Amino acid sequence: MGTNLSTPKTEKSSDDGENDHLRYGLSSMQGWRASMEDAHAAHLDLDESTSFFGVYDGHGGKVVAKFCAKYLHQQVVKSEAYIAGDIGTSLRESFFRMDEMMRGQRGWRELAILGDKINKFNGKIEGLIWSPRSREYKAQEDSWAFEEGPHSNFAGPTSGSTACVAVIRNNQLFVANAGDSRCVICRKGQAYDLSIDHKPDLDTEKERIIKAGGFIHAGRVNGSLSLARAIGDMEFKQNRFLPAEKQMVTANPDINTIELSDEDEFIVLACDGIWDCLSSQQLVDFVRQQLLIETKLSAVCERVLDRCLAPTIGIGDGCDNMTMILVQLKKLRQSSAPT
Per residue in 74-96, pLDDT (tens digit) is 999 999 999 999 999 999 999 99
Helix (H, G, I), strand (E, B) or coil at 214: coil
Count the Cβ atoms, other than its own, within 10 Å of residue 2: 4
Q: What are the pLDDT digits (tens) for 165-182?
A: 999 999 999 999 999 999
- Measured between alpha carbons, how far is 126 from 3 in angstroms, rounded to an integer? 14
Q: Which of 117-126, 203-212, 276-285, 322-331 shows the lowest mean pLDDT across its residues? A: 117-126
Question: 186 with 284: CB under 8 angstroms?
Answer: yes
Query: Distance between CA atoms of 270 and 265, rounded to whole angstroms?
Result: 17
3-class SS at 295? Answer: coil
- Residues linked to residue 164 through DSSP beta bridges, in sequence order: 55, 177
Tell me what the pLDDT averaged over the chain comes to.
88
Give the number of residues written for the chain: 339
For residues 23 and 17, the answer to whether their CB atoms sit within 8 Å is yes
User: Which amino acid, one-letter code, is at 259?
Assistant: E
Predicted confidence (pLDDT) per residue in 14-48, tens digit: 999 999 999 999 999 999 999 999 999 999 999 99
Residue 121 has pLDDT above 50, yes or no: no
Is residue 128 very low, low, confident or very high in pLDDT (cuts 50, 70, 90)? very low
Map 153-201 to HEC letters.
CCCCCCCEECEEEEEEECCEEEEEEECCCEEEEEECCEEEECCCCCCCC
| Residues contacting residue 86 through CB under 8 Å, at least 6 positions apart | none
Q: What is the DSSP string of 9-31?
A: EEEEEEEEEE-SSEEEEEEEEEE
* Model confidence pLDDT, tens digit, residues 269-301: 999 999 999 999 999 999 999 999 999 999 999
* Phi, psi dihedral angles at 131 (to 5 degrees): -140, 80
Going from N- to C-terminal start, the domains of the chain cover 4-102+157-329
- Report whether pLDDT(314) > 70: no
pTM over the 0.85 mark: yes
4-102+157-329: CATH topology is Phosphatase 2c; domain 1 (3.60.40)
Alpha-carbon span 76 to 339, nearest angstrom: 29
Of 195, 173, 160, the C-alpha closest to 264 is: 173
Give percent of the chain with pLDDT exceeding 70. Answer: 87
Give the other-Cβ count within 10 Å of 126's Cβ: 21
Compute, in degrees rounded to 10, the torsion defined by CA atoms 104, 106, 109, 115. Answer: -80
> DSSP of 33-95, one letter per residue?
ESS--EEEEEEEEEETTEEEEEEEEEES-SHHHHHHHHHHHHHHHH-HHHHTT-HHHHHHHHH
Q: Report the pLDDT value the prediction gives residue 316, as an integer from 0 to 100.
A: 60
- Rounded CA-CA distance 144/100 in Å is 9
Q: CA 304, CA 306: separation in Å to the nearest integer?
A: 5
Q: Report the pLDDT averaged over residues 187-198.
A: 97
For residues 205-228, average pLDDT: 96
Task: Report whether pLDDT(113) > 90.
Answer: no
pLDDT at 338: 37
CA distance 235 to 333: 45
Secondary structure class of 245 (helix, strand, coil): helix
d(CA 125, CA 263): 48
Helix H or strand E segment including 99: helix 87-101
Task: Tell me the chain's radius of gyration from C-alpha atoms.
Answer: 20
Q: Is 327 helix (H, G, I), strand (E, B) or coil?
A: strand
